[in-house]
Amino acid sequence: MAKDHLRELHLFAMETALPFGMGMLNKAKTGGLKTIVNVFRSDDPISEFQVHGESSAKTVRDKIDQIIPGLGHPIVSVDVTVEETHPDCDINDQDSLVSILRRIDSQLDELSDHLSMTQKHR
């Protein structure tokens, strides 16, 4: 459980806080304190700083990843579900299985014949 909180904090730091901080730093470099104050007066200052700092943050994350892979670009947990569908047959249907195996065998024979023909033409 604590590991999940640490992972969430790491993700927040790299994906949200870092671009915000880099955006503030970039604004300070280009326009000084007055520019930063003007951004805070906008409708969504957090997003504005994040957008302005994203390219710099990506550079920082890439450099961090060169030192310790995965630290700069944290791994994000995802839930994956696979829905198995077999349109050709029912898995328990032995006749369908035999039919599929025969088709595979036939295709392997065709491939073998094709490979034999290409080797003869060399």
At residue 17, the pLDDT reads 92
Look at residue 75 and tell me if it is in a domain. Answer: no
Q: Do 62 and 85 share a domain, yes or no?
A: no
41 lies in which domain range?
2-67
Per-residue pLDDT of the chain (122 residues; tens, 9 = 90+): 567 788 888 888 888 999 999 999 998 998 888 888 888 888 898 998 999 899 999 999 999 888 988 788 776 677 888 877 665 555 557 777 888 899 999 999 998 888 887 777 65
**One domain for residues 43 and 91:** no
Instruction: Identify whether the C-beta of residue 49 lies closer than 8 Å to the C-beta of residue 24.
Output: yes
d(CA 16, CA 61): 12
At 7 the pLDDT is 83
Q: How many domains does the chain have?
A: 2
Q: Which two tokens stand for residue 118?
A: 């290409």
pTM above 0.85, yes or no: no
73 assigned to some structural domain: no
- The answer to whether position 61 is within a domain reads yes
Q: Which H/E stretch holds residue 33?
A: helix 18-40
d(CA 56, CA 72): 13
Residues 12, 55: one domain? yes
Same domain, 63 and 8: yes
96 in the same domain as 61: no
> Are 55 and 29 contained in the same domain?
yes
Does 76 reside within a domain? no
Whole-number pLDDT of residue 104? 93
Q: How many CB atoms within 10 Å of residue 119? A: 8
Same domain, 8 and 47: yes
